[in-house]
Amino acid sequence: MTVLLELKEKLKNTYGKYDIYLKPLFKFLLAACVFWIINGNIGYMEKISSLPAGLALALFCSILPLGAMIFAAGVVILLHLYALALEAALAAFVLFALMGLLYFRFAPRDGIYTVLMPLCLHFHIGPVMPMAVGLLGKAYSVVSVFCGTVVWFFLNGVKQNEAVFGSGDQAAAASKLTVALNQVLGNKEMFLTLSAFAVVTAVVYFVRRLSVDYAWLAAIIIGGLVNFVVLFAGYLALGITGRTVPLVVSSLLALAISLVLEFLCFNLDYTRTERVQFEDDEYYYYVKAVPKMYVAKKEKRVKRFSSKGGGRVSKKQISDKTDKKIR
């Protein structure tokens, strides 16, 4: 444990010292991953789906606030869908406008969750984000989870029906808009996932705020169990098969990542808990204080060596002795 705490302190000090360089680097890597996934899955417009274009956009987003990355990703998605079918682009524009109003009303500072949510779903570790939001965010931060989840399911549905959208038949053109809207309004799995993530976020947020020992650990374990039970029961009710193994793996990964977050962001020493009671003219106060785990800095001691006569050896004497030895 001591080694891990020392490593944590080193990482914290290093980030604090070089954050002016690390923040743009992290945003560049995140944006590059976002545009790479978008271009790789719905890269219908060749001009903006190339690697240099994606890297240029990522570099542009690295020097701007995180909201610019969300806006740029939305524009790229709309351009790709416009190249596929106008109806898909119109449906996406309406969807993005509604989510934008909801996002900027409730969670304008939680853009990182909105960006990471589709990435986690793409890599089949979706439960990580509601667990992380419940541990680190506020109750309204679940709005950012909703936005990212809806976008991922919508784009995944468009990709699965790209043959319908790419058809030039006039008879099929009338149903393209209906198919696009159905990717959101008629997607039962999406509503199941949104419900599960909302419950998990609320449970983790409520439990980790309790004034009990190991509240964060209890929140992680309970949240992981709730996520598995709700999704597993929902898959059985909807008749969705082939999701049990991915659900188990994603739930275990969510638990592991949440434990890492607890160690980095919380990590209390409950063995040294103190309870203080005091009063003023109007109230009695009962305070529970739990110290954080930390590693005391090692003190460096400089020892001075003296000569045989008891006096101190000066730099000149040391250099003279060194010269004699060389000669």
CA distances from 281 to 278, 284, 285 (A): 11, 9, 11
Which pLDDT tens digit goes with each residue over 39-78? 988 888 888 888 899 999 999 999 999 889 999 999 999 9
What does the pLDDT read at residue 318? Answer: 44
Rounded Cα distance, 158 and 155, in Å: 5
What does the pLDDT read at residue 160? Answer: 87
Please provide residue 74's backbone torsions phi and psi, each rounded to the nearest 5 degrees. Answer: -65, -40
Residues of the chain with pLDDT under 50: 313, 315-327
Rounded Cα distance, 16 and 14, in Å: 5
pTM: 0.82
What does the pLDDT read at residue 275? Answer: 85
Rounded Cα distance, 151 and 158, in Å: 11
Is residue 262 within 8 Å of residue 135, measured between CB atoms? yes
Rounded Cα distance, 133 and 233, in Å: 23
Break the chain into its structural domains and give their ranges. 1-84
Looking at residue 293, the DSSP 8-state letter turns out to be P
Identify the three-state secondary structure at position 275: strand
Rounded Cα distance, 163 and 226, in Å: 37
What does the pLDDT read at residue 321? Answer: 45
Residues 6+ apart with CB under 8 A from 324: none
Rounded Cα distance, 88 and 164, in Å: 11
What does the pLDDT read at residue 272? Answer: 81
Rounded Cα distance, 118 and 105, in Å: 21
What does the pLDDT read at residue 300? Answer: 56
Rounded Cα distance, 241 and 185, in Å: 21
H helix and E strand count, the chain:
13, 2
CB atoms within 10 A of CB 194: 17
Rounded Cα distance, 229 and 224, in Å: 9
What does the pLDDT read at residue 148? Answer: 92
Which pLDDT tens digit goes with each residue over 183-204? 888 889 999 999 999 999 999 9
